[in-house]
Structure 1
């Protein structure tokens, strides 16, 4: 079997037809969900790019592999990134005879020893952090050059080339699209036109310009349409080449995006919306579901039936061990994996409770150490390194009765038992991974 892992940038779980948005246009994602397995409670290990991507590739939590906040292109970060000692899954696949490719956003360190071609990839076309939507400057197998066109179309072109060159090989391909990262309106006209009629449903908050929020959401839909179109082309090429029956496809978000939710704008690092402006841009840390919950779909042809929905809470740290299990590669010799093999959940359509965790150490535009645990309907967020009492800074939500996380139950006396249980799980997890927040 082959494996393709597709990762977007800032694609909120809510913004997909398969997840219940009746306005967004995502026919290819919706078809992928019908053909595969839709996870309704998938979480990123962190709510910003670099640590989340580090978790997906390493099967470990970001604090275990040296990535805390999103990496920036400055002197502070020139020697930082994903620990080279972390064995990422493309390295394992390469050791097992797979041709490995990476197209798109890397964002895990600029030092030569951290270059994708030194980290288990045979083929790399991509970039580190920022990318112009049109005519981007890309690293093409170690050579930097400008490529004409829109990034979504460019990445599809290179993906098709990789697939055609390796259709007769066992391969692993990661495609990390730029979309739907801002600016959302910088996409081909066909994508803008496709959503121009939509009147989005947006959060209503005091002090927020609703019309501006609708415009921003509509533009976000345009970028998602471009992403959906690109993913559809990749899937169609797999089918055209006659390798669909032996190619597993993962679609896994890197984190979410708040667009007016709770009055904020951004990912795990947000600013406050005042009228039609964002104040503070990225200086408030959060672990709301809108920031940390992700879309996750897996198509596993020939093994499981189609149109499966799994409600068990899962993490993007689970992708690594799940891929290796699907490909019948022995996990026993790989140390430090904390992600869980999901194949048993998938095959049995199991919805048993399972605790999942997330973390965010904000470093760039503020200082914060947030940790999260979810078990069943309840979600606890704790802040470390502060002098205030926990009932003033921590959060507890019942996601069954309060899915929008508007009612913080942390100071509710009747919640003491569930808080204790979740705290015990969280502290046990933090000790197991040697979390520096302790």
Structure 2
């Protein structure tokens, strides 16, 4: 493997810092003095694995309360991680949240206010090439970087993963697959290995899991730390699990309807693939030197059987079911097994968190997210007070290019869930199901929050989200 730039010098410096700061055991560690103080000996700086599920419901794992689901790999990961009880996706649909994960910015601040599609006439974003990604930032620290799975951030050459900081890419360049087995969208093959079109055989989940396992094993003896962005298509539509997994669910779950059975099977199949990736980490001796984060890109799609628990609505909606997502993060030697936090966390926070853990907190300065390091040190800690804005621009007959928005300000949440609907105001502490509109009861808060949301939406208009080809 070619080691780029001054990687050996950077890696050696990071290694020295990492080892000097690694002293106590994970179970009994004293409060950490800085993000780099990770307990336990290290042979190299930490690897980073970010796993993104597509449209996973808030309660659609065994460890999250699902009674018809068996997800042993993710259940075990959750037990070893900090569980993020109030984790929000930056948007209730795919592309914007992915842009926020990779940049640490609000998606409408990087040109992705809506879904980027392979059909240009119904595409609602252009991922700003000038915005550095987490892959570029970690690459500057000497990391080997790879993207595997679903990209969904544009087909143009300047937005290919390898032009956005990734050293390699294996996966689906387009938006959604029309078939998990032939990997086409509108009859076009968007599967790529780096720049080359490929046509592999097999279910997409199996392919992505195998490629990720291969990457982990191949880099087990590398002098470079690595960053792997593993983004599954599952459990996005079409709900198309392998037949053997569907049969297993139907045989086990008496009385389950066909719609729910298919989704359960698709999720369990993904969990099995994630388990194989985690097993590769363990068998190659890298598990205890790898930061692992697991999230979904938005809430579950209700009409295909997703379980969002007690949350209102689902994918595509600004109600809690659309933007509250499953999530956990494991930092070896830091996170305490079985810990959880109720602090508001957002997908754009992943970048500053990972950069802080990699030893470069100053690189967080130009992002909108905040680091979770205080929560990793103490799950009962508080993050800085902040308001969180949500914006989605969409097309079609119902939207006609208009936006839907929300603003979360402590316990109050302002929701504009449909262009022709009125704004609503909810107190999530008293009414987590968002059933009682307080717009008339709290008129001052209502007006002020609309004004603040409007200013945020206006700011997003400063960033071009359509490519000027003229």
TM-score by length of 2: 0.78
User: Equivalent residue for 1:134?
Assistant: 181
Q: Do 1:49 and 1:70's aligned partners in 2 also have CA atoms closer than 8 Å?
A: yes
Q: Do 1:287 and 1:381's aligned partners in 2 also have CA atoms closer than 8 Å?
A: yes
User: Equivalent residue for 1:93?
Assistant: 138
- Pick from 1, 11, 15: which aligns with 2:56? 11
Size of the aligned set, in residue pairs, is: 399
Distance 1:80 1:396, change over 3 A: closer
SS class of match (1:124)? strand
Shift in Å at residue 107 of structure 1? 0.7
Shift in Å at residue 302 of structure 1? 1.0
User: Equivalent residue for 1:177?
Assistant: 232
- Pick from 218, 229, 232: which aligns with 2:261? 218
**1:271-350 to 2 correspondence within 5 Å?**
286-332=317-363, 336-349=366-379, 350=381
Distance 1:383 1:77, change over 3 A: closer
Q: Do 1:259 and 1:265's aligned partners in 2 also have CA atoms closer than 8 Å?
A: yes
- Pick from 244, 269, 294: which aligns with 1:189? 244
User: Equivalent residue for 2:412?
Assistant: 378
How far apart are the structure 2 equivalents of 1:266 and 1:192? 27
1:90-144 Cα distance to aligned partner (Å, 9 max, x none): 0111111100010011111111111111111111001121322114352012111
Distance 1:296 1:112, change over 3 A: same
1:139-167 Cα distance to aligned partner (Å, 9 max, x none): 01211121111111111111111111211
**1:20-419 to 2 correspondence within 5 Å?**
20-76=65-121, 81-127=126-172, 128-131=174-177, 132-136=179-183, 137=189, 138-168=191-221, 169-198=224-253, 214-260=257-303, 267-268=315-316, 286-332=317-363, 336-349=366-379, 350-351=381-382, 354-365=386-397, 366-367=399-400, 368-382=402-416, 393-410=422-439, 413-419=440-446
Q: Do 1:321 and 1:331's aligned partners in 2 also have CA atoms closer than 8 Å?
A: no
Shift in Å at residue 27 of structure 1? 1.7
Distance 1:429 1:68, change over 3 A: closer
Shift in Å at residue 10 of structure 1? 0.9
1:350-404 Cα distance to aligned partner (Å, 9 max, x none): 25665322111123452331221223433211379x7x8xxx6112223334333
Structure 1 gap segments, 5+ residues each: 201-210, 269-285
TM-score by length of 1: 0.83
Shift in Å at residue 49 of structure 1? 0.8
How far apart are the structure 1 equivalents of 2:91 and 2:432? 20
1:31-66 Cα distance to aligned partner (Å, 9 max, x none): 111101111111111111111101111111111111
1:266-315 Cα distance to aligned partner (Å, 9 max, x none): 721xxxxxxxxxxxxxxxxx311111111111011112211111111111
Structure 2 gap segments, 5+ residues each: 1-45, 184-188, 465-470
How far apart are the structure 1 equivalents of 2:271 and 2:264? 10
Question: CA RMSD for the aligned pairs?
Answer: 2.8
Distance 1:375 1:364, change over 3 A: same
Bigger drift between 392-401 and 30-39 goes to 392-401
Q: Do 2:113 and 2:125's aligned partners in 1 also have CA atoms closer than 8 Å?
A: no
Shift in Å at residue 253 of structure 1? 0.8
Q: Do 1:356 and 1:374's aligned partners in 2 also have CA atoms closer than 8 Å?
A: yes
How far apart are the structure 1 equivalents of 2:243 and 2:396? 32
Distance 1:148 1:310, change over 3 A: same
SS class of match (2:214)? helix
How far apart are the structure 2 equivalents of 1:188 and 1:85? 44
How far apart are the structure 1 equivalents of 2:122 and 2:170? 22
Distance 1:258 1:403, change over 3 A: farther
How far apart are the structure 2 equivalents of 1:423 and 1:199? 48
